Amino acid sequence: MSGRPAGDTEIMNRLTKTMTSIAATGLFAAAPALAADCPVKVGVLHSLSGTMAISETTLKDTIEMLVEQQNDKGGLLGCDIEAVIVDPASDWPLFAEKARELLTVHNVDVIFGNWTSVSRKSVLPVIEELNGLLFYPVQYEGEESSKNVFYTGAAPNQQAIPATDYFLEELGVEKFALLGTDYVYPRTTNNILESYLKSKGIAAEDIFVNYTPFGHSDWATIVSDVVALGEDGKQVGVISTINGDANIGFYKELAAAGVSADDIPVVAFSVGEEELSGLDTSNLVGHLAAWNYFQSADTPANAEWVAAWKARMGEERVTNDPMEAHYIGFNMWVNAVTEAGTTDVDAVRSAMYGQTFPNLTGGTAEMLVNHHLSKPVLIGEIQADGQFDIISQTAEVPGDAWTDFLPESAVLKSDWKELGCGMYNTETESCVQLKSNY
C-alpha cells in the first residue's frame, strides 16, 4: 500500500491529465527548448588593474551597458541577464584561473573578454576543456581558429595588411620600423608583415624590428634608432603593435624628439580613442591608427551608440573599436540564443553561423564559418582633440584565420560548419591539430 495520502494521489492524477491535454494541444511549442536557467549569466573577463586596465576597463563597462540595454528590452529567453565580473589583473596565468572560475563556480553561459593574445591563449585550453564560449573583441595576429572562440576583432588581413598597403601606396614609405610589445600578437603580426613587405620588394635591411616588455617606459634609445633609419633620405614609417600604457611613453618620446607625422608617420594597431584620452595629442596630429571603427564615424547608429555611452558613463568618456566588436558580438550572441531557444554552447555555435548585425560605420557584419567577422578597414588620422579623422574606409572584408603570407598557413582554412575543422589542410585534405604558438 502506498504511503501517499488519497488527496495527493487525486491531485497528481488531475495534474497528469492537465499536462497531457496541454501537450496534445501543442501549447508547449511556444516555450523555448532547453531554455536557460534564470538569470542568464554573462562572464566578463577583462583586466581592471595592471598595465592593461587602461584599455580593458572600458570593455567591462561596455558589456555592463549592453546587458542593461538587453534587460530593458525584456532580457533573454524570458530571463534577466546578469553580468558576472572578475579581474584577471593583467596577469596572464590568472586569466585561465578566472575563466575556470566563471565556468565552474559561476556557471556563466558565455564569456566576453581578453585583450592581449597571450591572455587569450592562456584561457583557450580552459574554454575548450569545459566547452565554454568566448567572444574575443580585439584585433589579433590570426593563426588560430577554435570552435569555442568567436573572434570579433580584426584578423591581419583586416588591419595590418591594409595599413601597410596605405604606407606603401599613399605615403611612399620605403623603410619600416616594426615596434611591438614582446608577446605573441606583435611577434606573429610582424612575422607576417616582414614576409609581406619582402614580397613587395622591401629589402630585409630596410625593416627594423624591436620588442619591449609590457609597461616599458624608456623610449629614448628606440626612438633615436628609428630616426637614424632615415639618415639616407628614405621615408621611414612606424608600424606599432605596442600595447597598453607603454603607448603613453612612446608617443611622449616622439614629441620630445620633435618627430612629426610628416617626418615619420606612425600607424598603430592598439591605440584608439581610449588610449589617446590620457595624452596631450597636440604633437601627435597626423599620426595614424588602423581599426574597423572610430568614434567619429558619421552614421545614425553610431550617433545613437555614442550618445547612450556618454549618457551612462559621462561626457568625457570615449568609444573605440573593441567596444564596437563587443557591441556586434553581444547582439549576435543574443540573436543566436534566441534562434536556438537555449544558451547551450553547441546549439548557440550552430546558430551563430551566418548571423548578421549592422555595424556602427554603415555596413553589416556577418559571422563566418571560420568564427571571424566581415569588417570594413578604416584608417584614421589623429586630431588635436584625441579623435580620428577617417581618411580611408573599405567595404566589408571577410576575416581570414590563416594568412596567405606565411607558407605553412597559406594552405590552411577554417570551416567549423561543414568541415568541423579550424585547421584544414587544403593540400592533404585533412584536419590537423592546432599547436599553440604561445
**Cα 296 from chain centroid (whole Å):** 20
Encode pLDDT of 194-228 as tens digits. Answer: 999 999 999 999 999 999 999 999 999 999 999 99
Q: What is the CATH number of the domain that holds 310?
A: 3.40.50.2300
Query: Which run of H or E residues covers position 99?
Result: helix 92-104
Mean pLDDT in the chain? 90
- Confidence at residue 36, expressed as pLDDT on a 0 to 100 scale: 55
Looking at the structure of the chain, the number of domains it has is 1
* Pick from 31-35, 402-406, 419-423: least confident: 31-35
The candidate with the shortest Cα–Cα distance to 77, out of 413, 418, 342, is: 342
Range of the domain at 306: 40-153+299-374
The model's pLDDT over 78-133, given as tens digits with 9 standing for 90+, comes to 999 999 999 999 999 999 999 999 999 999 999 999 999 999 999 999 999 999 99
Q: Which residues of 387-426 are buried (b: 16+ CB within 10 A; e: fewer)?
A: bbebebbeebbebbbbbbbbeebeebbbbbeeeebbbbee
Domain assignment present for 99: yes
Find the mean pLDDT for residues 20-43: 55
Radius of gyration of the chain (CA): 24
What pLDDT, on the 0 to 100 scale, is given for residue 424?
97
pLDDT at residue 413, rounded to an integer = 96
2 has a pLDDT exceeding 80: no
- pLDDT tier at 295, thresholds 50, 70, 90: very high
Mean pLDDT of 376-394: 95
Q: Which residues contact 418 (CB under 8 A, 6 or more apart)?
A: 369
pLDDT band at 335 (very low <50, low <70, confident <90, very high): very high
pLDDT at site 17:
37
End-to-end CA distance of the chain: 66
Q: Give the rounded percent of residues in the chain with a pLDDT score beyond 70.
A: 91
Instruction: Determine phi and psi for 392, rounding to 5 degrees.
Output: -155, 135
Which cell goes with 223? Answer: 626612438
Strand-pair partners of 113: 45
| pLDDT for 103 | 98
344 has a pLDDT exceeding 90: yes
> Is 96 domain-assigned?
yes
Residue 419 domain flag: no
352 in Cβ contact with 336 (< 8 Å): yes
Sorting pLDDT into bands at 50, 70 and 90, what band is 12?
A: very low
Domain assignment present for 61: yes
For residue 149, report the phi and psi dihedrals to the nearest 5 degrees: -130, 135
pLDDT at 8: 40
- Determine, yes or no, domain membership for 52: yes
Residues paired with 236 in a beta bridge: 175
Confidence check: pLDDT of 27 > 70: no
Which element (helix H / strand E) includes 408? helix 407-410
Q: Exposed/middle/buried for 37, CB within 10 Å: 0-12, 13-18, 19+?
A: exposed
pLDDT tens string 223-281: 999 999 999 999 999 999 998 888 888 988 998 999 999 999 999 998 889 878 877 78
pLDDT of residue 170: 96
pLDDT per position as a tens digit, 152-181: 999 999 999 999 999 999 999 999 999 999
Within a domain: 200: no
The label of the residue with cell 590552411 reads: 412
Q: Residues 406, 381: contact at Cβ < 8 Å?
A: no
276 lies in some domain: no
**Beta strands in 264-331, from DSSP E residues, in sequence order:** 266-268, 288-291
Side chain identity at residue 318, one-letter code: V
C-beta separation of 383 from 281 below 8 A: yes
* Residue 32 confidence (pLDDT) above 60: no
pLDDT value, residue 206: 97
Nearest Cα residue to 189 out of 206, 164, 171:
164
Where residue 434 falls among pLDDT bands split at 50, 70, 90? Answer: low
> Phi first, then psi: what are they for 112, rounded to 5°?
-115, 120
Which pLDDT score, from 0 to 100, does residue 37 have? 86
Residues forming a β-bridge with 84:
43
Inside any domain, residue 362: yes
pLDDT at 251: 86
